[in-house]
Amino acid sequence: MSQPPHARETEGLAAPRGPPQLRSSSPTPGSQGRPRAPLVQRTRSTSLGDYRAHYITPDEPRRGARMPADGTQAVSPTPPRSPPPPPRRRRTPCSTPGVTPRTPRSSISSITDIEIYFKKEFNQFTGSFKERGARYTLLMLNESQRKKGVIAASAGNHALALSYHGQDLGIPVTVVMPLVAPIMKVQACRQYGANIIVKGSDIGECREIALKMAKEQDLLYDHPHILAGQGTMGLEIVEQVPNIDAVVIPVGGGGLIAGVALAVKALHPHVQVIGVEAERCASFSAALKAGHPVYVKAESTLADGLAVPKVGVNAYATAAPLVDKVVTVREEWIAISILRLVEHEKAVVEGAGATALAAVLAGELPELKGKRVVIPLCGGNIDTTILGAAWSGAWRRTGASSSSPSPSAIDPEVLLN
């Protein structure tokens, strides 16, 4: 990863013992024959390796001895106080995708009696949290793997992230996408220079195809580094929102909840980690019941990014002992969550990203009343057709100002057809 320009320019310079204060050695007009101390001193930051201007307050020059009128500098009985070093920014494995902001206490808190903070992962360049795992995995490849490239199976967001960062790092990327993948995402991946193979009826079939190609062509597939990259979101959450009680995470393949749970529980074991799945594809819940990943039937859902018929093996092994609870939500609540985020947060979030909020609005998590909760809005790559269906269906059946629609207020089939 490239260093900032100022770091390259000053690399190799020895750090000064203290911040030298620049003083004028000759009288200046209006100083009554005495040299005038400057208002700026140049200091070097030992953590960043650059020179910075530090503005001195009017009182600061008086901390030392007075300067004689002849221009000579007297010995200071009390050395000037050095400015404190700037805080060191935590360097995460995937600093390139960027630290996403969290919202102030959301206005949705007033209708849920839960102190909710949203983590805006849809602000990433390709529109989802998937950049974290994709970038970190690519950065950790050895020289041989960088030349051969990587392969993945994805319906959209992971494909976008891997394609974009693969192009940026000069690493060949192949992605197997299902026939139902949104055409706009397929085209975007191809524009990033990735080799896109559209084959398979769902992500499960795509995974089998990708695994076969990985063995035949010696390509890297589904590495644990992906989970490590996703876990950087957990580090940011505990830094940005102190004293949290719970984190509510959407669950598809399980990579995000595995990484976040590992990071959050390591730092704050008392924090609850709760997973939320779309009722039409609850593969993680099925895996918990069976004790291992199993295939489930994936039906059409507004949360298309969560429609993974079998949770990842690495993700399940990591998340299963750490996750406190997993719930499922119906389609109407996902639609209502998309609408509520537009109303209250002025944010257009895809169904998969709104699923965690859907569980709160549906009353599936009553134990969180009065607690401080973080909900990541995982992506904003919503298909316009799905957005229109969710918007019109939720608006027509609940009304724009309704804060507590009934579970039967929206027919999921109307939203999806």
- Structural domains of the chain in order of their starting residue, each with its CATH number: 109-124+227-416 (3.40.50.1100), 141-222 (3.40.50.1100)
Considering only residues 241 and 17, tell me which one the structure prediction assigns the higher pLDDT. Answer: 241
Could you read off the pLDDT of 377-397 as tens digits, one per residue?
999 998 777 777 777 655 555
Q: Mean pLDDT, to the nearest integer, of 26-48?
A: 45
Q: Is the pLDDT of residue 310 over 50?
A: yes
Continuous segment of H or E residues that includes residue 194: none
Structure confidence at residue 93 (pLDDT):
42
Instruction: Indicate whether 132 pLDDT > 70.
Output: yes
pTM for the model stands at: 0.71
Mean pLDDT, all residues of the chain: 79
The pLDDT of residue 153 is above 90 = yes
Give 353-373 pLDDT, tens digit per residue. Answer: 999 999 999 999 999 999 999
Two structure tokens written together for 199: 């084959």
Q: What is the pLDDT of residues 190-205, one digit of tens each?
A: 999 999 999 998 888 9
Tokens 């399980």, located at residue: 254
Average pLDDT on 87-113 reads 64
57 by Cβ neighbours in 10 Å (0-12 / 13-18 / 19+) ranks as exposed
pLDDT at 383: 79
The DSSP symbol for 20 reads P
Q: What's the CA gap between 380 and 349, in Å, rounded?
A: 4
3-state secondary structure of 110: helix
Query: What mean pLDDT is predicted for residues 322-331?
Result: 97
- What is the predicted pLDDT for the residue at 55? 36
108 within 8 A of 374, measured Cβ to Cβ: no
